[in-house]
């Protein structure tokens, strides 16, 4: 399937020069990030030293100290049952008999949180300065468990002993973050998918979900608004909103879907590259723009063996000006940062592409037909040329001195990864 393949290949081929300098920051006190040990029950269980994941998204505001960053962890440690033998050391049937296609949550009581971290350039270390657990309106801690979804797809969850866990209407999987001038936050939720307004103290004020799914959150401890396009329920499971951005003047919020939708079906998701990027009025939270971002085909990523384009995903979005954005797309090994500019000509909001009956769908439409205008991409960073870069980079922001900050999602230490923060100069990314 050729979906804007020529344009994407040309963009991916024009790699920038090696970054001028890269500084790697490690935790000043690794023990402060410890979540304890876990070993799956049964013969052969592998012991895991779990640690807090703080790198699923990042933010730095103009009023923040030069090296203060706000980050988020996602839904907590979880392992797909299909990976049980490789990751946990036990046969899937030993721990996943109750839900063979589910996920194991070793610490189901984990509360998704917002973190403030401070970098110390002198010691090349970072410290965890503040933790803000996300709560319901009445102060009840949220969980990272799955919501009781009936329209969008979902999964079954098991605890660390293999016992079924109940779906939680207050469960959130936060992966994107922006911070407003009043200290409140807007978070992107991967699972729902949803966009969550959170007060400075961590209380959820409002959750925006796809129209028609409000009833799935009826028991939640906060207001739920069906303000997002109903079409977003066609996201593949756990490929929702992983990225949030805010224009420097605070007027607009942006988010992009992690992958093309399953529109019209899962086959389209597996082979497509066109993902949807949305622009909202920050005051009203109403969508005012929608744009088509073509991800690089998986074949352009060196060493990737899977032929499915769904191997590539988008994990971060950062605004460097009004309608000037940096998009992080990646595989499990390589990360690329692209700069894009939104234009009126590329705005498809309110067009036929928002109609589920449109054939072929946006996801299956090639730019070569002239039917849709893709956002032009300028490559700013390719980590295959940055040997210091860890894998699974998911958070991006600009430090107060103008350098690019990038942080990895360590998956809570499940595979032994540790959190690392990089400051990179020479990318050409500037406000």
The pLDDT tens digits of the residues spanning 6-63 come to: 444 444 445 555 557 999 999 999 999 999 999 999 889 999 999 999 999 999 999 9
DSSP 373: P
Cα–Cα distance for residue pair 329/42, rounded to 1 Å: 38
CA–CA separation, 107 vs 36, rounded Å? 10
pLDDT per residue as tens digits for the range 303-345:
898 999 999 999 999 999 999 999 999 999 999 999 999 999 9
- The pair of structure tokens assigned to 410 is 């360590």
- Is pLDDT of 173 > 80? yes
155 within some domain: no
Residue 6's pLDDT is what?
Answer: 40
152 is a domain residue: no
pLDDT tens for residues 211-242?
Answer: 999 999 999 999 999 999 999 999 999 999 99
Residue 13 pLDDT: 43
pLDDT for position 2: 42
42 vs 150 pLDDT, higher one: 150
**Total number of domains in the chain:** 1
pLDDT of residue 326: 98
Q: 321 lies in which domain range?
A: 5-75+110-144+165-425
pLDDT value of residue 9? 41
Q: What is the pTM of this model?
A: 0.95
Q: 120-155 burial, b for 16+ CB within 10 Å, e for fewer?
A: eeeeebbebeeebebbbeeeeebbbbbbbbebbebb
Q: pLDDT category, 373, cuts 50, 70, 90? A: very high
354 touches 232 (CB < 8 A): no
Please give the mean pLDDT across all residues of the chain.
94
Q: Flag whether 160 is in a domain.
A: no
Q: What is the pLDDT of residue 10?
A: 42
Residue 414's closest CA among 146, 86, 110?
86
In a domain, 84, yes or no: no
Question: What count of residues does the chain have?
Answer: 431
Query: Does residue 5 have a pLDDT over 60?
Result: no
> 10 Å Cβ neighbour count for 302?
10
For range 259-265, the mean pLDDT: 97
pLDDT tens digits for range 104-116: 999 999 999 999 9
Answer whether residue 297 is part of any domain: yes
Residue 158: inside a domain, yes or no?
no
d(CA 22, CA 20): 7
Provide the strand spans (E) within 82-134: 103-105, 113-120, 125-133
Least confidently predicted of 132-141, 181-190, 362-371: 362-371
Half-sphere exposure of 321 (CA within 13 A, CB side): 8
Domain with 404 in it: what CATH number?
A: 2.115.10
The pLDDT assigned to 17 comes to 53
3-state secondary structure of 214: helix
Q: What is d(CA 294, CA 314) in angstroms, rounded to the nearest whole number?
A: 11
| Tally of CA atoms within 13 A in the half-sphere of 29 that contains its CB | 8
Is residue 361 one of the residues assigned to a domain? yes
First-residue to last-residue Cα distance in the chain: 37
Is 80 part of any domain?
Answer: no
pLDDT-based confidence at residue 4 (cuts at 50, 70, 90): very low
Q: Would you call the peptide bond into 383 cis, given omega within 30 degrees of 0 as the criterion?
A: no
Model confidence pLDDT, tens digit, residues 414-431: 999 999 999 999 999 998
pLDDT for 19 equals 56
Residue percentage of the chain with pLDDT more than 70: 96
Measured CA to CA, the distance from residue 119 to residue 127 in angstroms comes to: 7
pLDDT of residue 244 exceeding 60, the answer is: yes
SS3 102: coil
Average pLDDT, stretch 175-194?
A: 97
**3-state DSSP assignment of residue 63:** coil
């Amino acid at each position: 399937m050729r979906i804007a393949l020529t344009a994407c290949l040309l963009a991916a081929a024009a790699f920038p020069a090696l970054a001028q300098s890269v500084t790697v920051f490690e935790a000043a006190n690794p023990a402060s990030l410890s979540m304890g040990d876990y070993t799956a029950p049964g013969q052969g269980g592998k012991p895991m030293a779990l640690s807090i994941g703080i790198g699923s998204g990042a933010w730095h505001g103009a009023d923040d100290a030069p090296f203060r960053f706000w980050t988020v962890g996602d839904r907590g440690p979880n392992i797909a049952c299909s990976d049980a033998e490789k990751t946990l050391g036990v046969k899937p049937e030993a721990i996943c008999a109750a839900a063979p296609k589910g996920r194991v949550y070793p610490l189901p009581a984990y509360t998704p949180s917002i973190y403030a971290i401070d970098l110390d350039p002198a010691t090349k270390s970072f410290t965890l300065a503040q933790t803000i657990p996300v709560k319901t309106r009445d102060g009840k801690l949220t969980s990272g468990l799955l919501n009781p979804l009936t329209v969008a797809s979902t999964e079954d969850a098991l605890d660390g002993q293999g016992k079924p866990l109940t779906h939680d209407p207050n469960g959130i999987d936060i992966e994107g973050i922006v911070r407003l001038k009043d200290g409140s936050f807007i978070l992107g939720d991967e699972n729902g998918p949803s966009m969550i307004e959170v007060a400075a103290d961590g209380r959820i004020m409002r959750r925006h979900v796809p129209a028609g799914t409000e009833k799935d959150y009826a028991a939640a401890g906060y207001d739920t608004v069906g303000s997002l396009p109903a079409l977003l329920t066609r996201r593949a499971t756990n490929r929702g909103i992983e990225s949030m951005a805010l224009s420097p003047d605070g007027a607009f919020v942006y988010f992009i879907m992690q992958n093309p939708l399953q529109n019209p079906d899962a086959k389209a998701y597996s082979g497509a590259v066109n993902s949807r990027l949305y622009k909202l009025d920050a005051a009203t939270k109403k969508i005012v723009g929608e744009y088509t971002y073509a991800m690089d085909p998986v074949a352009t990523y060196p060493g990737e063996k899977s032929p499915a384009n769904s191997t590539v995903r988008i994990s971060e979005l950062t605004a460097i000006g009004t309608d000037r954005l940096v998009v992080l797309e990646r595989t499990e090994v390589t990360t690329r940062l692209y700069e894009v500019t939104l234009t009126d000509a590329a705005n498809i909001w309110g067009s036929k592409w928002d109609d589920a009956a449109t054939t072929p769908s946006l996801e299956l439409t090639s730019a070569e037909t002239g039917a849709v205008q893709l956002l032009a991409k300028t490559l700013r960073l390719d980590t295959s040329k940055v040997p210091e870069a860890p894998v699974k980079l998911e958070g991006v922001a600009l430090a107060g001195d103008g350098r690019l900050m990038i942080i990895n999602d360590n998956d809570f230490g499940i595979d032994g990864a540790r959190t690392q923060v990089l400051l990179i100069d020479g990318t050409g990314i500037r406000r």
